[in-house]
């Protein structure tokens, strides 16, 4: 099938490459000439395991190309919209400028029978509004909403083998045609019996934001429990294991620590709250404000634990920060709890040296005031305290015995509850976890 993908950021670049990998003929379009240049050269502008490989193989097959010219979308039957919906400046609402601009620029190039497919995360009601815009253009194209559930770090796998597909379609024949086209796009997932929900626009939009809201709530729930565990001497990891065995609860997303970040969960729960308030239903999701507050509190908690553990004033201390990206397997530092902790400690006057396998470059752009090192050894050398805030395998594998010989004071604050506390203590470290005695 001929497909265009408008927006070649995280979502779009992966989607375009994956669709070409699945055998479709794809053009990826973005207004950012630099990004397009990099992609066309086979180099993704961000770190995502597996993406360089499928990008290169799809381009070599001739099925994938990139352009800054929206006119190149003409001739495709399906046009995916994968542009960003960041948090609006000065507000909690989502900024829909890029989605609106993408649709407007696409309109002149649409033909009868084309299907425009929204993948961006949008406030409920957006798809209905955009469907009316497309209809009014008289092109004869229609709209579907097909939310994306990919996780950074596993984006290629999640796109090629999604755990479910959701189509929000118009009622009647237009919806049936949209479903048939999307089934063709996702033929390989269909063949693999991937669960499919065909629904209306509003439900499809809400599925996405409510899924992210649920995941955020789960993380904040366990973090709230870890605060209680700290106050009572209980062990949050054992608690999570024990409640996680209940299949109704499940163990995933019950890791207490410095909390969630990234380009999705934080902004999505805020945008959801803002949209619910617009709909006069702010009370229904008022708990998400608490979810956000609990989450942000974990960053303060890790900073406070560090200050308390130090044997000298923070402005005379060297603090080694292990981790900058918002989670492992990613170079994304948007709203990263790890970077936030590093910045806060630096703001308090600490000599912060931070390391991360992938996140240094992006962190340096935002916070040039921090000292970065690509060497774990250099980062640890003479440190008065070590703070682990992203659970990269490289950090989990640090040998506590040899690490103890590098630092000035062997204190480790495990902001991800990921280390073997007993092993670190046995090597002479003061080990501090969150809700972990
Ligand atoms: C999230 C969702 O998981 C995806 O399903 C969704 O498609 C995506 O947002 C999106 O909206 O595009 P992602 O942002 O890649 O994916 O990251 P997650 O794996 O969800 O992790 C989010 C944050 O939660 C990370 O900072 C992670 O460290 C933290 N986390 C996760 C915890 O603190 N504890 C846990 O137990 C799990």
261 Cβ inside 6 Å of ligand 1: yes
What would the pLDDT profile of 204-223 be if each residue is shown by its tens digit? 999 999 999 999 999 999 99
Strand pairing category for 165-169 and 318-322: unpaired
Helix (H, G, I), strand (E, B) or coil at 28: strand
Distance of CA 39 to the CA centre of its chain: 20
Average pLDDT estimate for 84-98: 94
Cα–ligand 1 centroid distance for 395 (angstroms): 20
Beta bridge partners of 310: none
165 Cβ inside 6 Å of ligand 1: no
Cα–ligand 1 centroid distance for 253 (angstroms): 8
Which atom of ligand 1 lies nearest, measured to the CA of 337? Answer: 26
pLDDT of residue 402: 98
- Mind giving me the DSSP string for 320-389? EEE--SSSTT----TT-HHHHHHHHHHHTT-EEEEE-SS-HHHHHHH-TTSEE-S-HHHHHTT-SEEEE-
150 Cβ inside 6 Å of ligand 1: yes
From 46, 219, 297, 389, mutation site for ligand 1 pocket: most ligand atoms within 8 A of C-beta: 219
What would the pLDDT profile of 261-277 be if each residue is shown by its tens digit? 999 999 999 999 999 99
Q: How confident is the model at residue 257 (pLDDT cuts 50, 70, 90)?
A: very high
Cα–ligand 1 centroid distance for 151 (angstroms): 7
Closest CA to 395 of 341, 355, 351: 355
Whether the pTM exceeds 0.85: the reply is yes
Tokens of 294: 């609990």
302 Cβ inside 6 Å of ligand 1: no
Residues 6+ apart with CB under 8 A from 388: 322, 323, 395, 412, 413, 414, 415, 416, 418, 419
From 327, 418, 435, mutation site for ligand 1 pocket: most ligand atoms within 8 A of C-beta: 327
For residue 43, how many other CB atoms are within 10 A of its CB? 12
**What value does the mean pLDDT of the chain take?**
97
159 Cβ inside 6 Å of ligand 1: no
Cα–ligand 1 centroid distance for 258 (angstroms): 13
Helix (H, G, I), strand (E, B) or coil at 107: helix
Q: First CA to last CA across the chain, in angstroms?
A: 57
Q: How confident is the model at residue 123 (pLDDT cuts 50, 70, 90)?
A: very high
pLDDT of residue 232: 98
| Contact by Cβ (8 Å): 395, 375 | no
pLDDT of residue 373: 98
What would the pLDDT profile of 374-432 be if each residue is shown by its tens digit? 999 999 999 999 999 999 999 999 999 999 999 999 999 999 999 999 999 999 999 99
pLDDT of residue 288: 98
CA atoms within 13 A of residue 256's CA, in its CB half-sphere? 27
380 Cβ inside 6 Å of ligand 1: no
Residue located via tokens 């004869």: 140
221 Cβ inside 6 Å of ligand 1: no
Average pLDDT estimate for 321-328: 98
pLDDT of residue 111: 97
Average pLDDT estimate for 54-77: 97
Cα–ligand 1 centroid distance for 327 (angstroms): 8
Q: How confident is the model at residue 345 (pLDDT cuts 50, 70, 90)?
A: very high
Query: Which amino acids are annotated catalytic?
Result: 264
Which atom of ligand 1 lies nearest, measured to the CA of 327? Answer: 28
pLDDT of residue 248: 98
For residue 134, how many other CB atoms are within 10 A of its CB? 20
What would the pLDDT profile of 299-312 be if each residue is shown by its tens digit? 999 999 999 999 99
pLDDT of residue 306: 98
Task: Tell me how far apart the alpha carbons of residues 360 and 324 are, in angstroms, rounded to a whole number.
Answer: 7
């Amino acid at each position: 099938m001929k497909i265009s993908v408008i927006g070649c950021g995280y979502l779009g670049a992966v989607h375009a490459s994956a669709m070409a990998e699945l055998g479709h003929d794809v053009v990826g379009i973005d207004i950012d000439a630099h990004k397009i240049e990099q992609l066309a050269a086979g180099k993704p502008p961000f770190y995502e395991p597996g993406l360089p490989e499928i990008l290169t193989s799809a381009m070599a097959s001739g099925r994938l190309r990139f352009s800054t010219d929206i006119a190149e979308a003409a001739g495709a039957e399906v046009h995916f919209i994968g542009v960003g919906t960041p948090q609006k400046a000065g507000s909690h609402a989502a900024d829909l400028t890029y989605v609106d601009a993408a649709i407007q620029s696409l309109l002149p190039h649409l033909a009868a029978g084309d299907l425009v497919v929204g993948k961006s995360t949008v406030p409920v009601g957006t798809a209905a509004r955009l469907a009316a815009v497309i209809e009014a253009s008289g092109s004869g194209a229609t709209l579907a909403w097909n939310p994306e559930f990919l996780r950074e770090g596993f984006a290629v796998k999640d796109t090629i083998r999604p755990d479910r597909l959701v189509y929000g379609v118009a009622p009647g024949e237009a919806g049936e045609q949209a479903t048939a086209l999307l089934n063709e796009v996702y033929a390989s997932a269909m063949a693999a019996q991937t669960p499919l929900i065909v629904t209306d626009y509003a439900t499809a939009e809400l599925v996405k934001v409510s899924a992210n809201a649920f995941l955020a709530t789960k993380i904040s729930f366990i973090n709230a429990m870890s605060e209680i565990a700290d106050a009572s001497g209980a062990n949050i990891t054992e608690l999570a294991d024990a409640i996680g065995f209940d299949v109704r609860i499940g163990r995933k997303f019950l890791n207490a620590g410095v909390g969630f970040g990234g380009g999705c969960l934080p902004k999505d729960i805020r945008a959801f709250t803002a949209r619910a308030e617009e709909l006069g239903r702010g009370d229904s999701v008022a708990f998400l404000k608490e979810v956000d507050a609990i989450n942000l509190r974990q960053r303060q908690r890790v900073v406070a634990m560090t200050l308390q553990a130090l044997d000298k004033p923070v402005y005379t201390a060297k603090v080694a920060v292990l981790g900058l990206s918002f989670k492992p397997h990613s170079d994304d530092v948007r709203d990263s709890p790890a970077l936030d902790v590093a910045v806060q400690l630096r703001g308090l006057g600490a000599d912060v040296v931070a390391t991360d396998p992938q996140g240094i470059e992006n962190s340096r752009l935002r916070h040039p005031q921090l000292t970065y090192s690509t060497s774990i050894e250099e980062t640890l050398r003479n440190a008065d305290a070590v703070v682990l805030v992203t659970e990269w395998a490289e950090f989990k594998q640090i040998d506590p015995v040899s690490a103890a010989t590098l630092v000035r004071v062997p204190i480790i604050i495990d902001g991800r509850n990921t280390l073997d506390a007993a092993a670190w203590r046995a090597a002479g470290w003061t080990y501090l976890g969150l809700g972990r005695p």
